[in-house]
Amino acid sequence: MSDIVIISGSPSSISKSERILYYLGDLVKREGFSIKQISVKGVDAKDLLFGNFESPEIKEIARRLELAKGVIVGSPVYKASYSGVLKALFDILPQDVLQDTPVLPVMTGGSPSHLLALEYALKPLLASVKGQSLKGLYFQDSQLDMSTDNPIVDEDMLNRTNKQLKYFLGKIRQEQPVF
Ligand SMILES: Cc1cc2nc3c(=O)[nH]c(=O)nc-3n(C[C@H](O)[C@H](O)[C@H](O)COP(=O)(O)O)c2cc1C
């Protein structure tokens, strides 16, 4: 099983939030952690639409999340909240699937006015499945460039990202058993 599971909640084929998640995944791998990337686009749409709790694929995602040392969850802002399809996935995961797990929430949005969607939407969703959310990262589209190796072109956001990631990985390392 992977140390860190990364969940992308964007339905877009070319997704800014997913690009950020891949970038974060690369940084995490460089720090020696194994990762598993999961996208809502890869989940059977029928399971999501009909709320299929018994789906083997959903059970496998739940198992991966339960065993993860840390989880990164990303979503675009859609209508001032997370994407509906991310909610559809969380709706059919067990209610304590992220028990005691450090979680780094990540959102991208077209405007600064929905920065608080992290606080009033995504973090409560993660808390409902007992995740321990860090402060999190909110990127405006204008702070990103999809054509470069590092998509975060805004210097402040890059510093914030490095700090949050360091804190996230520090929490995970603290919780590892010492032999
Ligand atoms: C259906 C839809 C609704 C959106 N609603 C908002 C919104 O309420 N506030 C906002 O700041 N941006 C909004 N946006 C812009 C996206 O959040 C933004 O472009 C984001 O980076 C897209 O991420 P993605 O490429 O990973 O899907 C919306 C975009 C779409 C397609």
In a domain, 179, yes or no: no
Work out how many domains the chain is built from and give that number.
Answer: 1
For residue 139, the ligand 1 atom closest to its alpha carbon is 21
The pLDDT tens digits for 52-78 are 999 999 999 999 999 999 999 999 999
Residue 1 has pLDDT above 60, yes or no: yes
Q: In CATH, what number is assigned to the domain containing residue 134?
A: 3.40.50.360
The pLDDT tens digits for 103-145 are 999 999 999 999 999 999 999 999 999 999 999 999 999 999 9
Contact 77, 110 (CB under 8 A): yes
In a domain, 115, yes or no: yes
Report the alpha-carbon distance of residue 112 to residue 142 in Å, rounded. Answer: 10
- Find out whether the beta carbon of 159 lies less than 6 Å from any atom of ligand 1: no
- How far from each other are the two terminal CA atoms of the chain, in whole angstroms? 20
Task: Tell how far CA 158 is from the center of its chain.
Answer: 17
Average pLDDT value for residue range 81-85: 98
Compute the mean pLDDT over every residue in the chain, rounded to the nearest whole number: 96
In a domain, 86, yes or no: yes
- Find out whether the beta carbon of 12 lies less than 6 Å from any atom of ligand 1: yes
Sign of the CA dihedral running 140, 45, 7, 29: negative
Predicted model pTM: 0.96
Residue-number span of the structural domain to which 60 is assigned? 4-174
In a domain, 91, yes or no: yes
In a domain, 166, yes or no: yes
- Find out whether the beta carbon of 78 lies less than 6 Å from any atom of ligand 1: yes
